Amino acid sequence: TGPQAVALQKEWAEFVGSKYCLTTASGTAALHMGLAAVDVVPGDEVIVPSYTFLATASCVMHQMAIPVFVDIEPTTYTIDPTKIEAAITERTKAIIPVHIQGCPADMDPILEIARKHGLSVIEDACQAHGSAYKGRLCGTLGIVGAFSLNNLKNLCGGEGGLFVTDDEDVLKKGDLVRYFGDECDETT
Protein backbone atom coordinates (compact mmCIF):
# COMPACT_ATOMS: atom_id res chain seq x y z
CA THR A 1 0.00 0.00 0.00
CA GLY A 2 3.05 2.27 -0.15
CA PRO A 3 2.93 5.27 -2.46
CA GLN A 4 5.33 3.80 -5.03
CA ALA A 5 3.39 0.51 -5.20
CA VAL A 6 0.07 2.35 -5.52
CA ALA A 7 1.55 4.54 -8.28
CA LEU A 8 2.88 1.47 -10.10
CA GLN A 9 -0.54 -0.20 -9.93
CA LYS A 10 -2.20 2.88 -11.42
CA GLU A 11 0.41 3.36 -14.13
CA TRP A 12 0.45 -0.32 -15.15
CA ALA A 13 -3.35 -0.50 -15.33
CA GLU A 14 -3.34 2.59 -17.56
CA PHE A 15 -0.51 1.23 -19.73
CA VAL A 16 -2.13 -2.13 -20.43
CA GLY A 17 -5.70 -0.80 -20.52
CA SER A 18 -7.09 -2.63 -17.48
CA LYS A 19 -9.36 -1.17 -14.83
CA TYR A 20 -7.39 -2.65 -11.93
CA CYS A 21 -3.87 -3.73 -11.06
CA LEU A 22 -2.40 -5.19 -7.89
CA THR A 23 1.31 -5.49 -7.14
CA THR A 24 2.39 -8.95 -6.06
CA ALA A 25 5.47 -10.70 -4.73
CA SER A 26 6.03 -12.42 -8.11
CA GLY A 27 4.44 -13.40 -11.39
CA THR A 28 3.77 -16.80 -9.85
CA ALA A 29 1.89 -15.09 -7.01
CA ALA A 30 -0.17 -13.17 -9.57
CA LEU A 31 -1.07 -16.44 -11.34
CA HIS A 32 -1.99 -18.07 -8.03
CA MET A 33 -4.11 -15.06 -7.06
CA GLY A 34 -5.89 -15.37 -10.41
CA LEU A 35 -6.72 -19.02 -9.83
CA ALA A 36 -8.07 -18.31 -6.35
CA ALA A 37 -9.99 -15.27 -7.61
CA VAL A 38 -11.89 -17.36 -10.19
CA ASP A 39 -12.69 -19.96 -7.53
CA VAL A 40 -10.44 -22.81 -8.62
CA VAL A 41 -10.66 -25.33 -5.79
CA PRO A 42 -8.90 -28.59 -4.91
CA GLY A 43 -9.54 -31.24 -7.55
CA ASP A 44 -10.41 -28.78 -10.32
CA GLU A 45 -8.46 -29.06 -13.56
CA VAL A 46 -6.67 -26.19 -15.26
CA ILE A 47 -5.42 -26.42 -18.82
CA VAL A 48 -1.83 -25.24 -19.33
CA PRO A 49 0.56 -25.46 -22.28
CA SER A 50 3.14 -28.23 -22.36
CA TYR A 51 5.91 -25.69 -22.98
CA THR A 52 6.16 -23.02 -20.31
CA PHE A 53 8.05 -22.01 -17.19
CA LEU A 54 7.26 -24.33 -14.28
CA ALA A 55 5.28 -21.64 -12.40
CA THR A 56 2.36 -21.94 -14.81
CA ALA A 57 1.68 -25.47 -13.60
CA SER A 58 3.04 -25.15 -10.05
CA CYS A 59 0.61 -22.34 -9.20
CA VAL A 60 -2.21 -24.68 -10.22
CA MET A 61 -0.83 -27.31 -7.86
CA HIS A 62 -0.42 -24.68 -5.13
CA GLN A 63 -4.18 -24.19 -5.39
CA MET A 64 -4.45 -28.02 -5.01
CA ALA A 65 -5.87 -28.26 -8.51
CA ILE A 66 -4.61 -30.43 -11.36
CA PRO A 67 -2.63 -29.02 -14.30
CA VAL A 68 -3.67 -30.62 -17.59
CA PHE A 69 -1.01 -30.21 -20.25
CA VAL A 70 -1.95 -29.43 -23.85
CA ASP A 71 0.56 -29.50 -26.70
CA ILE A 72 1.86 -26.34 -28.35
CA GLU A 73 1.92 -24.98 -31.88
CA PRO A 74 5.31 -25.73 -33.45
CA THR A 75 5.72 -22.25 -34.94
CA THR A 76 4.77 -20.08 -31.94
CA TYR A 77 5.49 -22.42 -29.01
CA THR A 78 2.16 -21.31 -27.49
CA ILE A 79 -0.77 -23.57 -26.58
CA ASP A 80 -2.46 -25.12 -29.62
CA PRO A 81 -6.13 -24.05 -29.50
CA THR A 82 -7.14 -26.98 -31.72
CA LYS A 83 -6.10 -29.38 -28.96
CA ILE A 84 -7.75 -27.68 -25.98
CA GLU A 85 -11.29 -29.08 -26.26
CA ALA A 86 -10.04 -32.67 -26.19
CA ALA A 87 -8.52 -31.94 -22.76
CA ILE A 88 -11.69 -30.44 -21.23
CA THR A 89 -13.58 -32.54 -18.68
CA GLU A 90 -16.39 -31.84 -16.24
CA ARG A 91 -13.67 -30.83 -13.72
CA THR A 92 -12.01 -28.22 -15.96
CA LYS A 93 -12.29 -24.74 -14.46
CA ALA A 94 -9.79 -22.56 -16.32
CA ILE A 95 -7.28 -22.22 -19.13
CA ILE A 96 -3.90 -20.53 -18.69
CA PRO A 97 -2.53 -19.55 -22.09
CA VAL A 98 1.11 -18.43 -21.89
CA HIS A 99 2.46 -15.66 -24.09
CA ILE A 100 5.87 -17.30 -24.07
CA GLN A 101 8.86 -15.01 -24.62
CA GLY A 102 6.49 -12.25 -25.72
CA CYS A 103 4.83 -14.32 -28.47
CA PRO A 104 1.05 -14.00 -28.01
CA ALA A 105 -1.03 -17.14 -27.80
CA ASP A 106 -3.86 -17.34 -30.36
CA MET A 107 -6.44 -15.82 -28.04
CA ASP A 108 -9.58 -15.64 -30.24
CA PRO A 109 -10.14 -19.41 -30.41
CA ILE A 110 -9.01 -19.84 -26.79
CA LEU A 111 -11.56 -17.28 -25.60
CA GLU A 112 -14.27 -18.84 -27.77
CA ILE A 113 -13.59 -22.30 -26.30
CA ALA A 114 -13.63 -20.81 -22.80
CA ARG A 115 -17.00 -19.10 -23.43
CA LYS A 116 -18.45 -22.28 -24.90
CA HIS A 117 -17.45 -24.33 -21.83
CA GLY A 118 -17.85 -21.67 -19.11
CA LEU A 119 -14.14 -21.55 -18.30
CA SER A 120 -12.05 -18.70 -16.95
CA VAL A 121 -9.00 -17.55 -18.91
CA ILE A 122 -6.00 -16.45 -16.86
CA GLU A 123 -3.26 -15.10 -19.10
CA ASP A 124 0.33 -15.83 -18.18
CA ALA A 125 1.90 -12.68 -19.59
CA CYS A 126 4.95 -12.93 -17.34
CA GLN A 127 7.21 -12.66 -20.41
CA ALA A 128 4.92 -10.47 -22.53
CA HIS A 129 5.13 -6.91 -21.22
CA GLY A 130 3.94 -4.70 -24.08
CA SER A 131 3.19 -7.59 -26.46
CA ALA A 132 -0.07 -7.25 -28.36
CA TYR A 133 -2.62 -9.62 -29.86
CA LYS A 134 -4.72 -8.00 -32.59
CA GLY A 135 -4.24 -4.53 -31.12
CA ARG A 136 -4.85 -5.43 -27.45
CA LEU A 137 -2.03 -5.87 -25.00
CA CYS A 138 -1.40 -9.37 -23.73
CA GLY A 139 -2.73 -9.91 -20.23
CA THR A 140 -5.94 -7.95 -20.90
CA LEU A 141 -7.97 -10.45 -22.91
CA GLY A 142 -8.84 -12.96 -20.18
CA ILE A 143 -10.43 -12.38 -16.78
CA VAL A 144 -6.95 -12.03 -15.23
CA GLY A 145 -3.50 -11.21 -16.56
CA ALA A 146 -0.30 -11.98 -14.66
CA PHE A 147 3.06 -10.29 -15.24
CA SER A 148 6.47 -10.92 -13.67
CA LEU A 149 9.07 -8.31 -12.79
CA ASN A 150 11.88 -10.66 -11.83
CA ASN A 151 15.45 -10.04 -12.89
CA LEU A 152 15.22 -12.28 -15.97
CA LYS A 153 12.13 -10.66 -17.51
CA ASN A 154 11.98 -8.05 -20.24
CA LEU A 155 10.59 -5.54 -17.71
CA CYS A 156 12.88 -6.09 -14.75
CA GLY A 157 12.08 -4.85 -11.28
CA GLY A 158 14.38 -7.25 -9.44
CA GLU A 159 11.38 -9.18 -8.12
CA GLY A 160 7.64 -8.75 -7.97
CA GLY A 161 4.66 -9.17 -10.21
CA LEU A 162 1.47 -7.53 -11.41
CA PHE A 163 -2.10 -8.86 -11.41
CA VAL A 164 -4.57 -7.12 -13.74
CA THR A 165 -8.32 -7.49 -14.22
CA ASP A 166 -11.38 -5.53 -15.25
CA ASP A 167 -13.63 -7.47 -12.86
CA GLU A 168 -14.11 -5.85 -9.43
CA ASP A 169 -15.13 -9.14 -7.76
CA VAL A 170 -12.01 -10.87 -9.12
CA LEU A 171 -9.95 -7.91 -7.92
CA LYS A 172 -11.36 -8.23 -4.39
CA LYS A 173 -10.76 -11.99 -4.27
CA GLY A 174 -7.23 -11.56 -5.62
CA ASP A 175 -6.53 -8.90 -3.03
CA LEU A 176 -7.69 -11.26 -0.26
CA VAL A 177 -5.11 -13.80 -1.41
CA ARG A 178 -2.46 -11.07 -1.50
CA TYR A 179 -3.22 -10.24 2.14
CA PHE A 180 -3.62 -13.88 3.27
CA GLY A 181 -7.40 -13.45 3.63
CA ASP A 182 -7.22 -10.24 5.65
CA GLU A 183 -9.23 -7.27 4.45
CA CYS A 184 -6.57 -4.60 4.80
CA ASP A 185 -7.65 -0.96 4.66
CA GLU A 186 -4.65 1.34 4.93
CA THR A 187 -6.75 4.49 4.36
CA THR A 188 -8.20 4.61 7.87
Q: Active-site residue numbers?
A: 153
**Torsion sign across C-alpha atoms 31, 32, 33, 38:** positive
For the chain, what is the total number of helices (H) and then of strands (E)?
5, 9
Sequence-separated (6 or more) residues with CB below 8 Å from residue 168 = 19, 20
Say if residues 157 and 12 touch (Cβ distance below 8 Å).
no
Whole-angstrom Cα distance, residue 79 to residue 104? 10
